[in-house]
Structure formats: structure tokens, C-alpha cells
A and B are shown apart, each in its own frame.
Chain A
Amino acid sequence: MTIPSLARGDIELAAEVLAPLVRETPAWAWRDELTERLLAPGTQPILKLELFQHAGSFKARGALNVMLGLDESALARGVTAVSAGNHAIAVAWAARTLGRTAKVVMPKVADPFRVSRCSRARRGGGPGG
């Protein structure tokens, strides 16, 4: 089975669908004394600050896009995910945003901060997961 590449039209469509739900994160030209000293001269780093995305990482985009692709009945049954952190937080956030439930599996060694963010996303609204 050959794997098709992503099509421009599909990306445009996804961007359109996600636009009202995710944040457009800033792209920021990073220049300071430290970068000038440490980077090769003339290099212009641009930071795409996706850390400001909902749920604190880029995972919100993928998780939301997957859930928006589920049909209504599947969505009503809720979703599950396995992740050490960012993905779990993003799925919990996306479920809440869509008014659905999520049950996520996190390993015991996961960063406790992330576990607490997950449960906060759950409590923040929508039916519990």
C-alpha cells in the first residue's frame, strides 16, 4: 500500500476547520545579546511559539483535527488516548472544547504537572472522563 502525501487542499481545509478553535501562535524574531554571541553571525532565528497553543503544545491541533473527523456517534462515545503528557492534555482539552469525554492513559512516571493539567482540563467543563 502506498502512502499518499498530504494534499494542499486538505491542509487548507484543516486550517479552515481548526481556525476558530485553535490559536494562531506568534512567530517571533529572536534577537538578543545571547543569540548574537552564541549563534553564527547573521543567523536570524524565528521562534514559532506554539507553546502558547491551547493545552500548552502543538498537540491540540492534531488531537482536535482527529476528533473533528469522527462521526457523531463515535464522538458521543468519547475518545481515549495514551500519552506521557502533552497529547493527553491536548485530548482532554479537545474533548472539553467539543463537549465530549476522554479517558487517557498516562504512565506512572509521567511528569506530575502534566497529570494535574490533564485532570484540570477534565474538571474545567464538559462531562467528566
Chain B
Amino acid sequence: MMSTQAFALAAQIEREEGRALVHPFEGPRTALGTATLGRELLRQVPDLEAVLVPVGGGGLAAGVASAVKLYRPDCLVIGVEPEANDVMFRSLKSGQPERVPEGGYRTIADSLSPPYTLPYSLELCRRNLDDLVLVSDDAMREALAVMFRGARLAVEPAAASAAAALLGPLRERLAGKKVGLIVCGTNIAPERYVEHLSRGTCAARAAAHRVKSLLVSGIAFTGALLGSLSGGSASALTMPAWLAMGVPFPTAVATDKLAASLWTLLGARNYLRRREVDWRLLAGMVALGLVGAWFGAAVTVRLDPALLKRVVGAAILLLIGVMLLRPHLGAVPRAPRASRWVVGAAALPLGFYEGMLGSGNSLVSSLLFCWGRGYDLIAALGHYYVLAFAWCALAAASYIGHGYYDVALMVPATIGRVPVGTWAPASEVNAAPPSCVVSSWSWAASSGSNCFWGSDSNDRASSLRGPVRRRRPPAGWAVPACGAVARRLLCRLLPNAAHHEAEISVTFPGVPAGAPLEVWMSRASPGRYAVHEFAKNVYNLRAEDSRGHSLSAVPFTPYAWRIAGPGGTVKLRYTLFGDRGDGTYAQIDRTHAHLNAPAVFLWARGLDARPVRVTFAGLPAGWRVATQLKPTSDPATFTAPNLQLFMDSPIIVGPIDLRTWLVTNGARTDTMRLAINHQGTSAEVDRYVEMIKKIVPEQAGVFGELASYDWGTYTFLADYLPWASGDGMEHRNSTSLTSTRPLATGLMRNFGTVAHEFFHSWNIERIRPRSPRAVRLHAGQHVGRALAGRGLHQLLRGAHSAARRASPPTRNSRRTWAGR
């Protein structure tokens, strides 16, 4: 941000006024000043293992890194520089001070954006920084939002850079370490901060759900599969995988214990259905092993992870070795060689190992049972599964009790093992020859388990929501249907527009007492012949009475709720998600809102005949609302005589460019309007209006006259924004036009849609087959009407011929006609 001219001006002041120049980053005294910061941090936290320091000109990094290396040479010091101004990175690479090209680099971290580096700071950085990493502006925004949401700190982007590095490029490298982050400053204008925060929050939410679920499930699945096929243990693969992912050792064991307890429970259940176990033996072993497992878990929690990793490595290698040897034991039952007491005593070390790690325990236990008690292998494994279920469950509980758990890891890891079992029929167990028994048992162990985990733990809405989970009906719960009451609607578009959310409240006064009030989200939309489950975008639904007491709202279909209550006034509030600006759905963002009423507004069954009033609250200056609804004295409030007309009325909101003109319609004069949200120029809109003005009389000519518009007004509602979706949808007194193409380059193609949709103001809207007029909002559209509508659609060729008639035939003359 700082220009070299600014430095020149300061030099001039220095020369002419004799003022000493205090350099922003260069020089020993500056570095000594910042070194006191590093010293202070180490005195406060003596056992730091790494320090992350933001780097701009390098004054902060030079001092902090020097101090850290003087006082604690073993502590890592890593510089963090904005990717968008990597002048220090380049300087360290080239070994000499580098410059930023004039006006070249811009980053949101303006504090870390010097025009050049200088020798002193560069040299100290070179000597004392262990490494330098780069972070993007987006990563800093995200970190800034994380610091706000997690630590409630409002910092400038530069101060979030260290956190950005720890969340991003250094996440794995510094896993498990005590890391000092220099949060260097907070001087930023509130508006600028809010802008970064809101952009960062979106990214942070996405990151919070960048859950490795799929990967984890895959690993668990593969581990289970390989373990089953080889007769070994799933954890031989999963343990190293979890550790490689940076999971702490006890958490990794806890994850496998939890998964194993499910697995062994299923195995035990399958076995017990067909065969008996020696309960006298098992009862003692379970109890003894539980004690062992408790201590095993306690040891793992306390031991040095580095040592444990070596133990695991050795155990897994040993296990692989044993599996390769494939001992053939337990083909047939034999006489016991050892008493129950002797075999049972082994439960203590087995339980201990199960609690501590457990990899390979099934094999060891099977060998014990086959050898000591003379079981065949199936019986041996059956006994083991009973034991292991108890031991693993206790061990998992113990780890979780110690705080070693990671839901994002445990759930997919447990689920991931399940499908392996679903393929293998349990009957295989009996049919298989003993040499394959180990693997078939593992198959059998999880068969029948597929119904346990049917729910989708990570649906789209929760991934949008981020870590702060809001109550939301499961996917598929929310769409609407039929006839409603909406009497008063209040729509707040802005508070969370950045996340495409609108807060909507609906008041139904005078609800009859007696039956519960049924509220619905529509499943149909005027002019659309498919079922649309608009309820999928509705969540956080609350109901209350006139005094603000909450009422229960129970979904009785996926798209309708019953509101209990004694009648009178019922008020509903809900959040709507919308990020598809087209003729069917809704889009809400910081630039505009495009609302197709059925996709947005709930209604109450039985109250359709009532008038509807809708208000858009809290619109920013310069925004307005355009719709075919009947205007009122308040520019943000509109009414409709009944639900059907309300639902037929799309609404656009934003910094709308509005053009109005009059057309003679028989004896009447009607008002035509173009309301448009776009990024182009006013002149482009004027030209577009001229083109529409020509199409209107042409189409009037096709039918002999213009249709009769309610309130004498017809409105073209256009959102021509790159983030809209291309579409057009006719309505009674308006048409919804969306396109990603700007007028500058997409004039003619956008215009084709205008001609098509306007033609519908007769055809379909007023000339229609004899199917019910009303749109069956709760159940989708009438099929007969839909088919006949398609036939009528052919008439639309008329619209295009009207467009052709309105425009001269040649390309050049068309340009002239379009005013270009």
C-alpha cells in the first residue's frame, strides 16, 4: 500500500524540518523493540515449541525471531507472509532486498505490504527464521472469522495471518505442538473489518465441514476388508492411517476401540444365535479383562506417544508375520489341554493389551482358545467376540472419558466398517472350511448391521450451517402444499444475505380454534409442471401465539407442519435458504433477492381465500421491491387478494433500475414496467426498453388486444446477473426473467426470452385448457393441464414470429433496430 513517493515525501520532511525519520521496519533499534515482544512471550510461555510471526517489511519478524533464537534456540520460528505480497519470500530466495513493482501487489493485509525489503531486517530474518510460509487473502479472511467466532477477537487481516498459517499450510507440521501466534494489531475500520469477516465466515464454515468423513470411511472400510480377508486386524491399516492424519495416539486407539466394539458386538450376536458359549469361562474372563483394559487404556493415555508408536509398529509387523505363516489351528474340536482357570487367567494380559492397543488380539485369543480349550476356530472367535465387545466398549469409554475423542473421525470410521459385513451372508460361516474361517467370521461379524446407520450425517444444509448447528428438519421435510392463510408476511432479506438466508415471519390472525393449524411449503409453482420440494430450504421453524408463547410445530409430512394451539393469532418464523435465481426457486445475496413466492412463503391450509400482505423489512438505502402484487402507500409493502394470486407473483429486490411506459390497451391505458437488477449501464437499459416497447404492440396484434392486467400494470422482472441462473417464467401480470448474460453482450438472447414469456400473458395465463385454474400448491400440477399446456406451447412460435416481425430480417438491420 505504501508507495515510494510517500517515502520520498517523508525524506523531504526529514531534510527540510530536521525531523528524525522513524523507519517502520528497518534498523537495530526497531528490531530491539520488537525483540522485547519475543522475549516477553517466552517469559510468559517458556515451553513454546514454535512461534508464528507475521512478515511484512520484516521488522517484527527480525526482532521476534532474534529473541526467540537467543533465548530458546530449539523453538521453531516461522514467518507468515501474504501470498499477494511475497517480497520477503523473494528476498530470502534471492539473498538480497527485492522491490515490489510500483502499484503491483495488493493484499488485504495492508500492514504486511511494504514496497521493498531492506538489508538489515532481511539479514536478521535470514539468520533467525526457520521457514517462511505464504497465506492467501482468503485464508486470512477465514482465520479472521475463526478468531472472531472462536476467540471473540476483532483483529486486522495481518494479525490473522499467523492463525491462517496454523489452520492451513502448517496444520500438519505443527500438529500437537504448543505454538505461539503473534496477533500483531487491530487497527482497521469497522466497515472494512465487517466485510472481511462476512467473507471469511463463509469460508470458515466451509472449512469447518471440510470433514474428512469420506476419506476416513474409506480407510475404515479398506481396513476392515483387508483385515477380514487376511484374517488379521483392521487396525493394522487404520492405526497407521489415523496417526498419519495427525490424530493423537490415544484418540486413534479410541476410534478403533469404538469401531471394534460395534464390530465385535455384531459378531458375538451372530455367533450366539447359532452356538453356545462357555459362560462360566467367559464371565470370569470378561471381568478380569475389564480390569486389564482399564489399565491398558490408562497406560496409553499416559505413555509417551513416540514410544507407543514404536510399540504399535512392532505389533503390526509381528501380526503381519503371523498372518503370513497362517497357523492352521482349530480345524476340529479337541480335548482341552488347560483348565478354565489357566485359560481364564490370560484374560488379564489380553484385556490389558486390548485396552492399550488390541491390534492382533483376535488372533492371539483364538490361538489360546483353540490350544487351551480345544475349540474349533469358529468357537474360539465366537468366544473372543463376546470378550472383545466388553473390553473394547470399556476401553473406548475410558478414552472418551479422558477427553480423547474426535467425533468427525469416530463416526465415519465406525460406519466405514459396516458395508464389509453387508456383502457376506452369515451362512458362509458354517459352510466354509476351517482354513478360511478367520476371514469368513469377520465377514459374518458385521453382517446384519447395515440397518444401524442409515441416516445421512452430513447433509447439505448442515455443511452450509457450519459448526454452529441449527435445528433443521431432516432433508425432505419441508415442502408445502395447499392452501393458505398467509395474512401478514414479513421478510427480512439482509441480516444474513451473505449466506443466502432470509428470515421470514408469517402472522395468521384469527385462526379458528379446534383443529390444529396446518402450514405448508408448496410443492408446485405456477407454470411449472414438476413437483418441487421447496421445504428443503426451510429450517429453524418456530411458532408462537400472540403473546409470544411458543407453540409446538410438528412436521406431519416432509413439507407440512401442524401447529398446536387454541386458535387466535399464530405467528411463524423460519429461515429460508436460497441461492438459485431463476423462475422456480429463490436467490438471496448481498446484491439482490429474486423470490419465486411458492419457494419462499409458507401458507396455511384452509385460509387461501384470505388476503395477503407482505412487507420487506430493513432494506438498505437505494433498494426497492418490484412485483406484480398490489402496491400500498409503503413502498416495501404489497398486498394480494388471495393466496393464488400471491403465489403467482414473483418478487425482485435490489438496487433496481426501473423504467415505466404507457401502452394503449383498447379503451384503457396500461402501464408497462421493466424492473431490472444488472451490472450494465443505464443506456443499455434504455435501449432494451425501446426493444420491448416494439414487441408489445406486435404481440397485441397476434391476439387482437393486450390481456387485461390486474391494476392495469404489467411488469418485466429481470435479474441479469452473473450469479443468477438463466430462466424465464410467465405469470399473470408479470414475467420473471433471469440470465447470466449482461445486456452488453447478451441483448438479443435475453430479448428472445422476453418475447417468449410476454406471449404467455395470453397463452397459458388467460387462454388455457379446462383444468382447474388454481395451482395445487400442495400436490404438484394437474397433469392434464400440463399436457394441454405443452400443446398450447406450440403457439409460442407465434411469440418468436412476433419478435421476427418486430425486427427487420438482416443482421445489419437488426443491429440498427436494436439501436446498435
A contacts, CB < 8 Å to B: 3, 5-6, 8, 10-12, 14-15, 18, 22, 24-28, 30, 32-35, 37-51, 53, 55-59, 61-67, 69-70, 74-75, 77-87, 89, 91, 94, 102-103, 105-107, 109-114, 117
- Among the listed B3, B39, B150, B246, which residue makes an inter-chain contact with A34, where contact means beta carbons less than 8 Å apart? B150
Closest 7 CB pairs of A and B: A57-B185, A113-B189, A40-B175, A65-B33, A62-B33, A42-B176, A34-B150
Least CB distance from B39 to A in Å reads 6
- Distance between Cα atoms of A13 and B121 in the complex (Å): 20
Whether the Cβ atoms of A66 and B29 lie closer than 8 Å is yes
- Residue numbers in B under 8 Å from A14 (CB-CB): 29, 32-33, 35-36
Secondary structure call for the B interface: helix
Whether the Cβ atoms of A50 and B183 lie closer than 8 Å is yes
Asked if B609 is an interface residue, CB under 8 A from chain A, the answer is no
| Residues 206-248 of B at the A interface (beta carbon under 8 Å) | 207-208, 246-248
Q: Which residue among A66, A106, A110 has the maximum number of chain B CB atoms within 10 Å of its CB?
A: A66
Chain A's closest residue to B175 (CB) is A40
Whether the Cβ atoms of A86 and B183 lie closer than 8 Å is no
Q: Which of these binds chain A: B59-67, B340-348, B656-664, B712-720?
A: B59-67
Q: Given A50-B182, A66-B22, verify A27-B13 contact (CB < 8 Å).
A: no
11 more A-B residue pairs beyond the given contacts A46-B178, A110-B1, with a C-beta to C-beta distance below 8 A: A6-B66, A14-B36, A30-B150, A38-B204, A39-B171, A46-B41, A61-B37, A62-B25, A78-B17, A84-B2, A111-B187
- Residue numbers in B under 8 Å from A63 (CB-CB): 22, 30, 33
Whether the Cβ atoms of A39 and B166 lie closer than 8 Å is yes
- Residue numbers in A under 8 Å from B30 (CB-CB): 62-63, 65-66
Whether the Cβ atoms of B66 and A5 lie closer than 8 Å is yes
- Distance between Cα atoms of A6 and B10 in the complex (Å): 27
Whether the Cβ atoms of B67 and A113 lie closer than 8 Å is no
- Residue numbers in A under 8 Å from B60 (CB-CB): 58
Q: Which of these binds chain A: B89-97, B151-159, B309-317?
A: B151-159
- Residue numbers in B under 8 Å from A37 (CB-CB): 208, 408, 467
- Distance between Cα atoms of A105 and B23 in the complex (Å): 12
Least CB distance from B132 to A in Å reads 18
Q: Given A11-B67, A34-B467, A47-B151, verify A78-B19 contact (CB < 8 Å).
A: yes
Least CB distance from A39 to B in Å reads 6
Whether the Cβ atoms of B176 and A3 lie closer than 8 Å is no
Least CB distance from B35 to A in Å reads 5
Whether the Cβ atoms of B172 and A40 lie closer than 8 Å is yes
Asked if B24 is an interface residue, CB under 8 A from chain A, the answer is yes
Whether the Cβ atoms of B27 and A66 lie closer than 8 Å is yes
- Distance between Cα atoms of A122 and B609 in the complex (Å): 67
Whether the Cβ atoms of A105 and B10 lie closer than 8 Å is yes
Whether the Cβ atoms of A107 and B119 lie closer than 8 Å is no
- Among the listed A35, A43, A69, A84, which residue makes an inter-chain contact with B176, where contact means beta carbons less than 8 Å apart? A43
Whether the Cβ atoms of B41 and A48 lie closer than 8 Å is yes
- Residue numbers in B under 8 Å from A15 (CB-CB): 36, 39-40
- Residue numbers in B under 8 Å from A25 (CB-CB): 40
Whether the Cβ atoms of B110 and A111 lie closer than 8 Å is yes
Least CB distance from B591 to A in Å reads 24
Asked if B14 is an interface residue, CB under 8 A from chain A, the answer is yes
- Among the listed A12, A40, A51, A79, which residue makes an inter-chain contact with B21, where contact means beta carbons less than 8 Å apart? A79
Asked if B818 is an interface residue, CB under 8 A from chain A, the answer is no
Whether the Cβ atoms of A34 and B208 lie closer than 8 Å is yes
- Distance between Cα atoms of A81 and B467 in the complex (Å): 44
- Residue numbers in B under 8 Å from A114 (CB-CB): 187-189
| Residues 183-209 of B at the A interface (beta carbon under 8 Å) | 183-190, 192, 204, 207-208
Chain A's closest residue to B176 (CB) is A42
Asked if B134 is an interface residue, CB under 8 A from chain A, the answer is no
24 CB contacts below 8 A, A to B, read A3-B120, A6-B67, A11-B39, A15-B36, A18-B36, A27-B41, A28-B151, A34-B149, A43-B177, A44-B177, A44-B178, A50-B182, A66-B23, A66-B30, A67-B20, A67-B22, A75-B20, A78-B20, A80-B17, A80-B21, A81-B10, A82-B2, A94-B22, A105-B10
B contacts, CB < 8 Å to A: 1-3, 6-7, 9-10, 13-14, 17-25, 27-37, 39-41, 44-45, 48, 59-60, 63, 66-67, 70-71, 110-111, 113, 119-120, 123-124, 127-128, 146, 149-151, 153, 155, 159, 163, 166-167, 171-172, 174-190, 192, 204, 207-208, 246-248, 251, 406, 408, 467
- Among the listed A5, A43, A53, A80, which residue makes an inter-chain contact with B19, where contact means beta carbons less than 8 Å apart? A80
Chain B's closest residue to A58 (CB) is B184
Chain B's closest residue to A7 (CB) is B70
Chain B's closest residue to A33 (CB) is B467
Q: Given A32-B151, A65-B32, verify A42-B17 contact (CB < 8 Å).
A: no
- Residue numbers in A under 8 Å from B67 (CB-CB): 6, 11
Least CB distance from B24 to A in Å reads 4
- Distance between Cα atoms of A4 and B155 in the complex (Å): 34
- Distance between Cα atoms of A57 and B167 in the complex (Å): 23
Whether the Cβ atoms of A41 and B111 lie closer than 8 Å is no
- Distance between Cα atoms of A11 and B146 in the complex (Å): 34
Whether the Cβ atoms of A103 and B19 lie closer than 8 Å is yes
- Distance between Cα atoms of A44 and B18 in the complex (Å): 49
Whether the Cβ atoms of A46 and B181 lie closer than 8 Å is yes
- Among the listed A42, A61, A81, A82, which residue makes an inter-chain contact with B248, where contact means beta carbons less than 8 Å apart? A42
- Distance between Cα atoms of A31 and B120 in the complex (Å): 37
Whether the Cβ atoms of A11 and B70 lie closer than 8 Å is yes
- Residue numbers in B under 8 Å from A34 (CB-CB): 146, 149-150, 208, 467
- Distance between Cα atoms of A113 and B187 in the complex (Å): 7
Q: Given A77-B19, A114-B187, verify A62-B63 contact (CB < 8 Å).
A: yes
- Distance between Cα atoms of A75 and B247 in the complex (Å): 56
- Residue numbers in B under 8 Å from A45 (CB-CB): 163, 166, 179, 181
- Residue numbers in B under 8 Å from A43 (CB-CB): 166, 171, 174-177, 179
Whether the Cβ atoms of A79 and B22 lie closer than 8 Å is yes
- Among the listed B9, B34, B71, B179, which residue makes an inter-chain contact with A58, where contact means beta carbons less than 8 Å apart? B34
- Distance between Cα atoms of A33 and B208 in the complex (Å): 10
- Distance between Cα atoms of A59 and B111 in the complex (Å): 10
Chain B's closest residue to A103 (CB) is B13
Least CB distance from A51 to B in Å reads 4
Whether the Cβ atoms of A40 and B174 lie closer than 8 Å is yes
Least CB distance from B148 to A in Å reads 10
- Distance between Cα atoms of A30 and B119 in the complex (Å): 35
- Distance between Cα atoms of A18 and B408 in the complex (Å): 47
Whether the Cβ atoms of B19 and A79 lie closer than 8 Å is yes
- Residue numbers in A under 8 Å from B178 (CB-CB): 44, 46
Q: Given A34-B146, A87-B24, verify A46-B248 contact (CB < 8 Å).
A: no
Least CB distance from B795 to A in Å reads 57
- Distance between Cα atoms of A47 and B41 in the complex (Å): 9
- Residue numbers in B under 8 Å from A39 (CB-CB): 166-167, 171
Chain B's closest residue to A28 (CB) is B151
- Among the listed A80, A83, A111, which residue makes an inter-chain contact with B14, where contact means beta carbons less than 8 Å apart? A80
- Residue numbers in A under 8 Å from B248 (CB-CB): 41-42
Least CB distance from A76 to B in Å reads 10
Whether the Cβ atoms of A86 and B33 lie closer than 8 Å is no
- Residue numbers in A under 8 Å from B155 (CB-CB): 51
- Residue numbers in A under 8 Å from B406 (CB-CB): 41
- Distance between Cα atoms of A78 and B13 in the complex (Å): 11
- Distance between Cα atoms of A24 and B579 in the complex (Å): 48
- Among the listed A44, A62, A81, A113, which residue makes an inter-chain contact with B34, where contact means beta carbons less than 8 Å apart? A62
Q: Which residue among B17, B183, B408, B467 has the maximum number of chain A CB atoms within 10 Å of its CB?
A: B183
Q: Which residue among B14, B32, B208, B251 has the maximum number of chain A CB atoms within 10 Å of its CB?
A: B32
Chain B's closest residue to A15 (CB) is B36
- Distance between Cα atoms of A112 and B188 in the complex (Å): 8
- Among the listed B10, B17, B467, which residue makes an inter-chain contact with A82, where contact means beta carbons less than 8 Å apart? B10
